Amino acid sequence: MNKSPLVLYPVKEPVNQTWHKVSLIIQSHLGSVQFPDTGEAAKLKRQIMAEKNIILDRLLRLARALVDCKGADKDSVGMKNALELVRAVSAGS
């Protein structure tokens, strides 16, 4: 994934930390990166898809918490943007 031209911000160092993997998975989701169809890649694809679902679920919870915080701050512009983020993450876009 790190070598795909659809990934806008590739990791310049070896991918060995959690945030590297999360960044690449989100960028590949947003860029619709296609995986090879070989047998080994299919096994990795299932693992990456499972991890992507976990990441997007946690991202949605974080965005909902942001909505709550912006509501408590009475920040209407921030609240509107946070609600749009929740809608986009929920839709998978």
**pTM surpassing 0.85?**
no
Contact 66/82 with Cβ under 8 angstroms? Answer: yes
Q: Look at residue 16 and tell me if it is in a domain.
A: no
Residue 1 lies in a domain: no
| Residue 5 C-beta-side C-alpha neighbours within 13 Å | 0
Q: What was the pLDDT predicted at 77?
A: 95
Q: Which range marks the domain in which residue 40 is found?
A: 35-91
Q: Taking a C-beta distance cutoff of 8 angstroms, is the pair 68, 39 a contact?
A: no
Residue 48 is assigned to a structural domain of this protein: yes
Answer yes or no: is 67 within a domain.
Answer: yes
pLDDT tens digits for range 25-82 = 888 888 777 776 777 777 888 888 899 999 999 999 999 999 999 999 999 999 999 9
Report d(CA 89, CA 80) in Å as an integer: 14
* Number of structural domains in the chain: 1
Residue 27 lies in a domain: no
pLDDT at position 66 is: 94
